[in-house]
């Protein structure tokens, strides 16, 4: 499914700290059909008007410059909830055809509509999927997400596995006193289904600014709890956010994302594009570049490449969570994309 012949190929994008950027996270909408309490207020956020969102053509252009000019190896579609963007399989098809087609193409979703869409997404070229699943208890799901949709999420998990997407990862944001008593149940769920569960430390990126370090469950604590039940062996990490562990009994993998207590910024290879076209060199950045303005001013590939290069050139060493200098960004996670 490779696209037309490659045009000009530039030097890889290397930030001021010597890290090569290879992965673009693309938010295709800021809207969501859930209201997860650690992410956004009950009333939701002020949604972007439709015309402010980057079009599929604009998204494809930015992605094409990243893949074909800078040699990116991965694209991830995020949101809000990306499956709420109409005709998403059309975009997946366009992104899958970029370059020689060897790049990774993944989706992060809350799973509620995956059962309806996954076959079309897989046929269009989606390679793998990450589904948010913070609890297996229907009552707690309603309390956390403020919607009664756990059944649909579980159907989405099974549909993704049945569609042959691999790996299927399950993201669990662990919050002390909320769902930390389900760590073993969720790990078992992944073992039984052949899905990789990743336990994520809650990060200060919530729309309500209610985050507190006292409710962060350190990754080391999660691993100790799981390892006490199923012995684990460490796996090589690479630049991925998650530290990976293999079950010694062969029942697959489990991961932890220790953004707060064990930051991994030194190997970060990611940049992000918000749904309205703001380029962010870091999830916690306090600055961003307006790529939509470049695109809608008639800027060509060179202009997009220059804007990418310039913003990556501003990338800091990493977030400063826990330091007195740390300031939570104005944008919430749902307005950036995971
Ligand atoms: S906090 Fe920023 S620099 Fe650190 S891993 Fe995340 S995106 Fe990369």
Query: Going by CA atoms, what residue is nearest to atom 5 of ligand 1?
Result: 265
User: Is the per-residue pLDDT at 50 higher than 50?
Assistant: yes
pLDDT band (50, 70, 90) for residue 176: very high
For residues 154 and 192, the answer to whether their CB atoms sit within 8 Å is no
pLDDT band (50, 70, 90) for residue 4: very low
For residues 335 and 322, the answer to whether their CB atoms sit within 8 Å is no
Is there a domain that residue 1 lies in?
no
Q: Which two tokens stand for residue 56?
A: 């599929």
Instruction: Spell out the residues 6+ positions from residue 219 whose beta carbon is closer than 8 angstroms to its own.
Output: 199, 201, 243, 256, 257, 258, 261, 262
Q: Which two tokens stand for residue 325?
A: 């200098």
Is there a domain that residue 149 lies in?
yes
Is there a domain that residue 5 lies in?
no
pLDDT band (50, 70, 90) for residue 208: confident
Q: Is 270 in the pocket of ligand 1 (CB under 6 A)?
A: yes
Specify the range with the lowest mean pLDDT, choosing from 14-23, 182-191, 208-217, 283-292: 208-217
Q: What is the pLDDT of residue 7?
A: 57
Determine the distance separating the centroid of ligand 1 and the alpha carbon of 119, expressed in angstroms.
32
Residues in the chain: 338
Q: CA 337, CA 203: separation in Å to the nearest integer?
A: 13
Three-state SS across the chain?
A: CCCCCCCCCCCCEECCCCCEECEEEEECCCCCCCCCCCCCCCCCCCCCCHHHCCCHHHHHHHHHHHHHHHCCCEEEEECCCHHHCCCHHHHHHHHHCCCCCCCEEEEEECCCCHHHHHHHHHHHCCCEEEEECCCCCHHHHHHHHCCCCHHHHHHHHHHHHHCCCCCEEEEEEEECCCCHHHHHHHHHHHHHHCCEEEEEECCCCCCCCCCCHHHECCHHHHHHHHHCCCCEEECCCCCCCCEEEEECCCCCEEEEECCCCCCCHHHCCEEEECCCCEEECCCCCCCCEEHHHHHHCCCCHHHHHHHHHHHHCCCCCCCCCCCCCCCCCCCCHHHCCC
Average pLDDT over residues 188-209: 94
Is there a domain that residue 90 lies in?
yes
Q: What is the pLDDT of residue 2?
A: 45
User: Is the per-residue pLDDT at 112 higher than 80?
Assistant: yes
Specify the range with the lowest mean pLDDT, choosing from 5-14, 88-97, 120-129: 5-14
Is there a domain that residue 3 lies in?
no
Determine the distance separating the centroid of ligand 1 and the alpha carbon of 265, expressed in angstroms.
5
Percent of the chain topping pLDDT 70: 98
Task: State the chain's mean pLDDT as an integer.
Answer: 94
pLDDT band (50, 70, 90) for residue 281: very high
Q: Which two tokens stand for residue 68?
A: 């074909």
Per the structure, the count of domains in the chain is: 1
Q: What is the pLDDT of residue 3?
A: 45
Is there a domain that residue 71 lies in?
yes
Determine the distance separating the centroid of ligand 1 and the alpha carbon of 34, expressed in angstroms.
25
Determine the distance separating the centroid of ligand 1 and the alpha carbon of 219, expressed in angstroms.
17
Determine the distance separating the centroid of ligand 1 and the alpha carbon of 58, expressed in angstroms.
25
pTM recorded for the entire structure: 0.94
DSSP string, 275-308: TTSEEESSTT-S--EEHHHHHHTT--HHHHHHHH
Query: Going by CA atoms, what residue is nearest to atom 6 of ligand 1?
Result: 283
Q: What is the pLDDT of residue 237?
A: 81
Who wins on pLDDT, 64 or 11?
64
Q: Which two tokens stand for residue 87?
A: 């005709």
Q: DSSP alpha helices (H): ranges in 65-209?
A: 70, 88-96, 114-124, 138-145, 150-162, 183-193
pLDDT band (50, 70, 90) for residue 1: very low
Angle at 122 (CA atoms; ends 116, 123), nearest 5 degrees: 100
pLDDT band (50, 70, 90) for residue 322: confident
pLDDT band (50, 70, 90) for residue 34: very high
| CATH code of residue 311 | 3.20.20.70
Q: What is the pLDDT of residue 64?
A: 97
Choosing from 242, 260, 318, 326 the residue with most ligand 1 atoms within 8 A of its CB, the one to mutate for a pocket test is 318
Q: What is the pLDDT of residue 250?
A: 96
Angle at 237 (CA atoms; ends 225, 314), nearest 5 degrees: 115
Is there a domain that residue 8 lies in?
no
Whole domain around residue 45: which residue ranges?
A: 13-336
Q: What is the pLDDT of residue 8?
A: 65
Average pLDDT over residues 293-304: 96
Neighbours of 251 (CB within 10 A): 15
Q: What is the pLDDT of residue 177?
A: 96
């Amino acid at each position: 499914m490779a696209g037309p012949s490659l045009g000009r190929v530039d030097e890889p994008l290397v930030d001021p700290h010597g890290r090569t950027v290879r992965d673009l996270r693309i938010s295709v909408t800021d809207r969501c059909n859930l209201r997860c309490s650690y992410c956004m207020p009950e009333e939701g956020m002020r949604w972007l008007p439709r015309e402010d969102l980057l079009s599929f053509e604009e998204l494809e252009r930015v992605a094409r410059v990243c893949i074909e000019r800078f040699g990116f190896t991965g694209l991830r579609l995020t949101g809000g909830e990306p499956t709420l963007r109409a005709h998403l399989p059309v975009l997946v098809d366009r992104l899958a055809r970029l370059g020689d087609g060897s790049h990774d193409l993944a989706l992060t979703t809350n799973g509620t509509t995956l059962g309806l869409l996954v076959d079309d997404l897989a046929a269009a070229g989606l390679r793998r999927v990450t589904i948010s699943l913070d609890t297996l208890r229907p009552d707690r799901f309603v309390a956390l997400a403020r919607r009664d949709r756990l059944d649909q999420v579980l159907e989405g998990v099974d549909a993704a596995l049945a569609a042959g997407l691999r790996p299927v990862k399950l993201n669990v944001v662990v919050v002390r006193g909320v769902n930390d008593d389900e760590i073993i149940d969720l790990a078992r769920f992944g073992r039984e289904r052949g899905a990789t569960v990743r336990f994520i430390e809650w990060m200060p990126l919530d729309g309500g600014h209610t985050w507190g370090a006292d409710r962060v469950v350190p990754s080391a604590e999660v691993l100790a709890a799981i390892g006490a039940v199923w012995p684990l062996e460490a796996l090589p990490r690479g630049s991925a956010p998650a530290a990976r562990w293999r079950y010694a009994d062969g029942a697959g993998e489990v991961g932890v994302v220790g953004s707060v207590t064990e930051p991994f910024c030194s190997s970060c290879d990611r940049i992000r594009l918000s749904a309205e076209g703001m380029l962010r060199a870091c999830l916690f950045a306090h600055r961003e570049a307006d790529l939509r303005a470049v695109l809608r001013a008639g800027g060509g590939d060179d202009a997009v490449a220059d804007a990418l290069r310039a913003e990556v050139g501003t990338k800091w060493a990493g977030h400063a969570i826990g330091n007195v200098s740390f300031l939570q960004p104005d944008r919430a996670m749902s307005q950036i994309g995971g």
